[in-house]
Structure 1
Amino acid sequence: MEIIINKLIEIESIVKRQYLLSKEFFTIEEAAEYLQVSLSAIYKLTSNNEIAYYKPGGKKIYFKKESLQEWIERSKVLSVFEMGSEVENYLAKTK
């Protein structure tokens, strides 16, 4: 019986994740879940204007999935190889 319950919990988690991924706009709770960070981390990002958000009516906060993805992409840390390529490109341009 415990195995069945665990499988149902796993299926429920998968269904929730699929539903979340199908949405265009997220609530603050959904954004935190999507980014796998705490609510306080999301509030910090919004208060520092580090991440784009929408506040219709001045109360509830919403995030566009595309904006969250862009924020992730802006946070890229270059690999050693990529840094070397950028240095080579810079040096080639300055000669």
Structure 2
Amino acid sequence: MYTFNELPEAVTAIANKLDVIERLLKLKNSKETEDFISNRLLTLDQACSLLKLQKSTLYSKVSRGEIPGVYKQAGRLYFKKEELLKWLEAGEKKTTTKILEEADQHLAGLKKGGVN
């Protein structure tokens, strides 16, 4: 037990220990976050390796909306690993862009007032 005169030292000791605990928690959380991101998001080079594509081919497919799970941040492309793996497993599954293009082409071919 502390006396009244020892309280300032005790509070300082507790504050120092709390600082150490906070730093350890931040370090642990940042490591877990890095692990989580590295297991979930791929860089352009990692995505090229996974998909076995050249960078230029991957860029083209991204610009045409053929690749799912693409994120742009600070001028860089990141790819959601899980979505790329599903896309690979399913073959070249149609993306939203492709489906919309096909729908537009179909609608353009319809006659006014009815169906062909």
> TM-score normalised to the size of structure 1?
0.50
> Which position in structure 1 is the counterpart of 2:55?
39
Instruction: Read off the aligned partner of 2:66 and give its amino acid letter.
Output: E
Can you give the 5+ residue segments of structure 1 that lack an aligned partner in the other structure? 1-21, 77-95
Structure 2 residue identity aligned to 1:55: K
2:107 corresponds to which residue?
Answer: none
Matched positions, count: 54
- Structure 2: 5+ residue stretches without partners: 1-37, 93-116
Percent identity (aligned): 35
- Identify which of structures 1 and 2 has the higher relative contact order when contacts are C-alpha pairs closer than 8 Å and 6+ apart: 1
**Coordinate RMSD, CA, aligned:** 1.7
User: For residues 52-87 of structure 1, what are the alpha-carbon distances to aligned partners after superposition, in whole Å with 9 as ceiling and x for unaligned?
Assistant: 200124x100001111112212316xxxxxxxxxxx
4+ aligned runs moved over 2 Å, structure 1: none
Match of 1:56 in 2: 73
TM-score between both structures, scaled by the size of structure 2: 0.42
Secondary structure of the equivalent of 2:76?
coil
Paired residue secondary structure (2:79): strand
2:31 aligns with: none
Write the distance in 2 (CA, Å) between the matches of 1:50 and 1:64.
14
Q: Is the 8 A contact 1:51 1:67 kept in 2?
A: no
Match of 1:73 in 2: 89
